[in-house]
Amino acid sequence: MNALRPCLLPILALLPGLACAADVDGATLSLGWALPFAGILLSIALFPLFAPSLWHHHFGKIVGLWTLAFLVPFAAVFGGQASAALVVHALVGEYIPFIVLLFALYTISGGILVWGNLHGSAKLNTGLLAIGTLLASVMGTTGAAMLLIRPLLRANDNRKHRVHVVVFFIFLVANVGGGLTPLGDPPLFLGFLKGVDFLWTLEHMALPVALLALALLALFYVVDGYFYRREDEWTLRDPSPDSPLRLYGKGNFLLLGGVIGAVLMSGLWKPQIGFDVLGTQVQLQNLLRDLLLLALALLSLALTPKQVRAGNEFAWDPILEVGKLFAGIFITIAPAIAILRAGHEGHLAALVGWVTGADGAPVNNLYFWMSGLLSSVLDNAPTYLVFFNLAAGDAQVLMERLPQTLLAISMGSVFMGAVTYIGNAPNFMVKAIAEQRGVPMPSFFGYMLWSGAILMPLFALLSLVFFIGDLGF
Q: Compute the C-alpha angle 426/427/428, nearest 5°.
A: 95
Query: 203-217, 221-235, 237-251: which range is least confident on average?
Result: 237-251
Q: Compute the C-alpha angle 315/316/317, nearest 5°.
A: 95
Share of the chain above pLDDT 70, in %: 90
Q: How far apart, in whole angstroms, are the C-alpha atoms of residue 95 and residue 17?
A: 8
What pLDDT, on a 0 to 100 scale, did the predictor assign at position 238?
57
Q: How far apart, in whole angstroms, are the C-alpha atoms of residue 467 and residue 327?
A: 37
- Banded pLDDT at 243 (limits 50, 70, 90): low
CA distances to 107, 247, 294, 320 from 299, in Å: 10, 19, 9, 20
What pLDDT, on a 0 to 100 scale, did the predictor assign at position 3?
33
Mean pLDDT confidence for 208-235: 88
Q: How far apart, in whole angstroms, are the C-alpha atoms of residue 302 and residue 282?
A: 29
What pLDDT, on a 0 to 100 scale, did the predictor assign at position 387?
84
Nearest to 157 by CA among 454, 436, 427: 436
Q: How far apart, in whole angstroms, are the C-alpha atoms of residue 216 and residue 182?
A: 22
Predicted TM-score (pTM) of the model is 0.76
Residues in CB range of 94: below 8 A, 6 or more apart: 10, 13, 16, 17, 18, 19, 330
Could you tell me if 395 and 354 are in contact, meaning their C-beta atoms sit under 8 angstroms apart? no
Greater pLDDT, 314 or 126:
126
Q: How far apart, in whole angstroms, are the C-alpha atoms of residue 120 and residue 150?
A: 12
Task: Give pLDDT tens digits for 268-293.
Answer: 888 888 888 877 788 899 899 999 99
Q: How far apart, in whole angstroms, are the C-alpha atoms of residue 290 and residue 278?
A: 20
Task: Give pLDDT tens digits for 246-275.
Answer: 889 999 999 989 988 888 888 788 888 888
Greater pLDDT, 204 or 245:
204
- Banded pLDDT at 22 (limits 50, 70, 90): very low
Mean pLDDT confidence for 169-198: 87
Q: Give helix 122-155 / helix 425-436 axis angle, nearest 10°.
A: 70
What pLDDT, on a 0 to 100 scale, did the predictor assign at position 472?
47
Q: Is the pLDDT of residue 18 over 60?
A: no
What pLDDT, on a 0 to 100 scale, did the predictor assign at position 338?
82
Q: Quickly count: other Cβ atoms within 10 Å of residue 465's Cβ.
A: 11
